[in-house]
Amino acid sequence: MALQRKYGGSLPAILDQRKDLTPDLIAYAVRHGVSFMPSFRKTEISDAQVSELGAYLVRPRRGNR
């Protein structure tokens, strides 16, 4: 919902449909928060875990790319 509000519906909010996500953008969102999503400190999620999360979220998915 936050992404729909932020982009006025011009980008899909469902992660599987997003084509604009990069590991760097995901890392920024995790560290700084987005809209009502809180930020997370390195004591809560390590840089390595953030990197793994970014790689997971941007991986090619069958049928979606």
Please write the tens of the pLDDT for every residue from 8-45. 766 655 666 677 889 999 999 999 998 788 999 999 99
Give the Cβ contact number of residue 12 at 10 Å. Answer: 14
Determine the average pLDDT of the residues in 40-63: 89
What is the model's pTM? Answer: 0.67
Residue 61 pLDDT exceeds 80: no
Q: Which residues contact 51 (CB under 8 A, 6 or more apart)?
A: 23, 27
Query: Is the pLDDT assigned to residue 3 strictly greater than 60?
Result: yes
Question: 4's torsion region: left (phi>0), alpha (psi -120 to 50) or beta?
Answer: alpha
Q: Are 27 and 50 in contact (CB under 8 A)?
A: yes
User: Span 44-50, mean pLDDT?
Assistant: 96
- Res 12: pLDDT: 56
